[in-house]
Amino acid sequence: MSRFTIAAVQMDLPVADNVSAMAHQVGGVKKRFPWVDMILFGELSAFGPRPQTAQPMPGPAEDHFRAVARQHKTWLVPGSLYEIDAGLIYNTMPVISPEGEIVARYRKMFPFLPYETGVAPGSECVVFDVPGAGRFGMSICYDMWFPETTRTLAWLGAEVILHPSLTNTIDRDAELVIAKAAAITNQCYFVDVNNCGDMAYGRSIIVGPEGEILHQAGETAQVIPLTVDFERVRTVRRHGIKGLGQPLKSFRDSNVDFPPYRQGAASAALDRLGPLAMSGSLWTAGTSGTAASGGD
């Protein structure tokens, strides 16, 4: 089975307990599109960006989603939920099999600081296999701004990147560009699903392994069932993008020792940027001039 259908659900959600509404949506998707193999929701769909709703995993919300996946016999990725573990809160994305089993959990590596405060970063890139189909990589919202995350997933063999987002800021245009770049430089599918309504601005995007936009949603609720072809990813990786560039092979074969990735490496240029703080406070403190001045 090289072809696999993912329904990305751009849902109009309030900042509230949305677990039952999401469960109802899963039933609706499977009824209307019975050939769908996996259903993917946006970041923090279940409760919104409220760390105070954090639950352990396993826990009540995750158990509810496990029952829903089992009932409808579908792969289910309910976006992410705030997870509490050993006194720390993580932004965590579970993957549930059609049998209701947890096959993977991924903790967001780059919380959206300085805004997503009180949330600890994860430290591990996570991939999982769907038997008979292919390998998926997991990424959440701000992670995409760090190309190392997607490249590592591709290095681990990911052919499709599942990327739930929760973007309600004016930089969504930039994220659409990043999604295209992530797909083409890693020769993979990139499925970026955002919420809409009170919670976010929509404009979900699905990009193919040669950087082509397969679908871009508007700003209202939409279910996007789209079939990915794992054999196409493998062909593009073997023969190149449009029969030309083969970036993953070149990356594999390179012997360059990139300085930023050396253990304990420091950058005088980055150190001059000042603290990680909200932009307005940096202007008030007068640090912007310091950050912009001087050479290496």
Query: Model confidence over 195-204: pLDDT tens digits?
Result: 999 999 999 9
pLDDT in tens, 14-69: 999 999 999 999 999 999 999 999 999 999 999 999 999 999 999 999 999 999 99
Using an 8 Å Cβ cutoff, are 130 and 103 in contact?
Answer: no
* Residue range 235-260, pLDDT digits in tens: 999 999 999 999 999 999 999 999 99
Q: Is the pLDDT of residue 290 over 50?
A: no
Please tell me whether residue 113 adopts helix, strand or coil conformation.
Answer: coil
Region label for 24, one of left (φ > 0), alpha (ψ between -120 and 50) or beta (otherwise):
alpha
Asked whether the predicted pLDDT for residue 280 surpasses 80, the reply is no
**Which residues make Cβ contacts (< 8 Å) with residue 83, sequence separation at least 6?**
54, 55, 56, 57, 59, 89, 90, 91, 92, 105, 107
Which of the four pLDDT bands, split at 50, 70 and 90, describes residue 173? very high
For the cut 80, the answer to whether the pLDDT of residue 287 exceeds it is no
List Cβ neighbours of 186 (8 Å cut-off, separation of 6 or more): 150, 151, 153, 154, 161, 247, 248
Q: How many Å apart are CA 211 and CA 184, to the nearest integer?
A: 4
Give me the pLDDT at residue 2, please: 85
Q: Which domains does the chain have, with CATH numbers?
A: 3-259 (3.60.110.10)
Q: Is the pLDDT of residue 293 over 80?
A: no
Instruction: Give helix 19-32 / helix 60-72 axis angle, nearest 10°.
Output: 10
Q: What is the pLDDT of residues 130-143, one digit of tens each?
A: 999 999 999 999 99
- For residue 279, the model assigns a pLDDT of 82
Question: What average pLDDT does this structure show over 121-132?
Answer: 97
The answer to whether residue 288 scores a pLDDT higher than 50 is no
